[in-house]
Amino acid sequence: MKQTIARIALVVDDYDKAIEFYTKKLDFLLVEDTDLGDGKRWVVVAPQGSKECALVLAKSDGEEQASRVGNQTGGRVFLFLYTDDFWRDYYKMVERGIKISREPEKMPYGMVAVFKDLYGNKWDLLEPNEYDE
């Protein structure tokens, strides 16, 4: 049996703003942007080189969902961006004005820093000790 996590929904307040951040600041690829009607779209972005998992940028619908934009996990790190070159990606983020909320640190499992996306969701930028390509 084989199972994989293929998509993770990330609640956003604006499709185009989110697409711009993920594609221009983090260099993600826009995998799909399909109009579903009634102002809804199926928007998928993924890191370059990602084989299975991608983000669905889901525009908030209603007050309860809007209250979760930027805080889907109550302030904990939400997503983990693995890299094969920590310093390349870290310096690129700094140059592009991405907020670093925890400076780089060598941990037993690899080099890590915490950054925030445009909404304030916390991410780990992580180069694991052993990176599978």
Q: What's the angle, vertex CA 9, arms to CA 8 and CA 12, rounded to 5? A: 140
Determine the Cα–Cα distance for residues 117 and 50; give it in Å rounded to an integer. Answer: 19
Q: What is the pTM of this model?
A: 0.91
* CATH H-level superfamily of 1-69: 2,3-Dihydroxybiphenyl 1,2-Dioxygenase, domain 1 (3.10.180.10)
Q: Taking residues 7-24, report their average pLDDT.
A: 97
Same fold, 1-69 and 70-133: yes
Q: Which DSSP string do the residues of the chain spell out, in sequence order?
A: ------EEEEEES-HHHHHHIIIIIS--EEEEEEEEETTEEEEEEE-TT-SS-EEEEEE--SHHHHTTTT-TTTTSEEEEEE-S-HHHHHHHHHHTTPPEEEEEEEETTEEEEEEE-TT--EEEEEEESS---
Determine the Cα–Cα distance for residues 11 and 24; give it in Å rounded to an integer. Answer: 19
Q: Taking residues 41-56, report their average pLDDT.
A: 94
- What's the pLDDT at 36? 97
Domain ranges in the chain are 1-69, 70-133
Q: What is the CATH number of domain 70-133?
A: 3.10.180.10
Contact call for residues 10 and 72 (beta carbons, < 8 A): yes
Rounded percentage of the chain residues whose pLDDT exceeds 70:
98
The pLDDT tens digits of the residues spanning 50-77 come to 988 999 999 999 999 999 999 889 889 9
- Answer whether residue 106 shows pLDDT above 70: yes
